[in-house]
Amino acid sequence: MNNIWFIAAIWMGLALVGSLISIWTGISVALIEILVGVVAGNIALGFEGGTLQIGIAGGNIDAGQLHHVLQSTEWTNFLAMLGAGVLTFLAGAEIDPHSLRANWRASVLIGVLSFAIPFGVVWFAAQFVFGWSLHQAQIAGIALSTTSVAVVYAVMIEGGLSDTAMGKMILAACFITDLGTVVALGGLFANFNVWLLVFVAVTVFVLWFMPRWTQSIITQLGATRVSEPEVKFIFFVLFFLGGLATTAKSEAVLP
């Protein structure tokens, strides 16, 4: 299927199914949408002799007869990364600096332990119990010890916890956990090059000056402008840093 409108309709229909299941079960829609995506992404359909056949994508199926229900395209991958980046940005904006300073010890402790313990246990089990190679065990440890700030943020917004002190502390701890993932990936598997140095330098520079730039734009232009230049400025910075990150062979959601 090459029609982007049909592809978009399938994706949005699955999101609708996730919303309905979430309402019916009372489970957060972010978690249900992940499960729906996992199921739909591994189903293949096809017709043989006028009979509908259903199989597991990537399993023992005839690729000429069965076809994936979902097809990942460049633009769907971009929208997914954009959504994850925006949600991560919004999660960071929800953290109150005063609350963070007051609870930074607890946030750092929770974040460090929530990454280090699963990382070490899974790495050890994968390498010495299941006999995986060193790099495979390290990847398993990183994959099973990280968290998703975007998912946690969505769950907290839905549950009304984002404005509470506990919610802000958990969000801050999630950022620490993600920072541990970035450090582990960077230290073990990063492709160090000139662009990576440029990306780090520009990111540090932007993080230092971004608050005053944004405040200045909101104060001087954004408060009374229907065109909302402050929103466009934030998207410009996110896209630019995402471009630098991908050029440096990192992830666009990182900045």
Tens of pLDDT along 19-49? 999 889 988 888 898 899 888 878 777 666 6
154, 189, 224 - which closes a domain: 189
Query: Are residues 155 and 200 both part of a single domain?
Result: no
> Can you give the residue range of the structural domain that contains 235?
191-255
pLDDT band for position 225 (cuts 50, 70, 90): low
Residue 79, domain member (yes or no): no
189, 206, 222 - which closes a domain: 189
pLDDT of 215 > 70? The answer is yes
Alpha-carbon gap, residue 28 to 19, rounded angstroms: 9
Residue 74, domain member (yes or no): no
Query: Are residues 62 and 130 both part of a single domain?
Result: no
Q: How many percent of the chain have pLDDT more than 90?
A: 14
Residue 155, domain member (yes or no): yes
Residue 21, domain member (yes or no): yes
160 strand-pairing partners: none
Residue 18, domain member (yes or no): yes
- With vertex at residue 23, the alpha carbon angle to CA 19 and CA 24, rounded to the nearest 5 degrees, is 115
Cα pseudo-dihedral 155, 40, 185, 130, rounded to 10? 110
pLDDT (tens digit, 9 = 90+) per residue, 145-202?
888 777 787 778 777 777 777 888 888 888 888 888 877 877 777 677 788 888 889 9
The per-residue pLDDT for 130 is: 92
pLDDT band for position 128 (cuts 50, 70, 90): very high
CA nearest 220: which of 235, 237, 233, 207? Answer: 233
Query: Are residues 138 and 106 both part of a single domain?
Result: yes
Give the residue with greater pLDDT, 8 vs 70: 8
- How many separate domains does the chain show? 3
Region of 33 (left: φ > 0; alpha: ψ -120 to 50; beta: rest) is: alpha
Query: Are residues 184 and 241 both part of a single domain?
Result: no
Q: Which two tokens stand for residue 136?
A: 């495979």
Query: Are residues 217 and 184 both part of a single domain?
Result: no
The alpha helices in the chain, defined as continuous H runs, are 4-25, 29-41, 74-94, 97-102, 104-124, 134-143, 149-159, 165-189, 194-217, 229-247
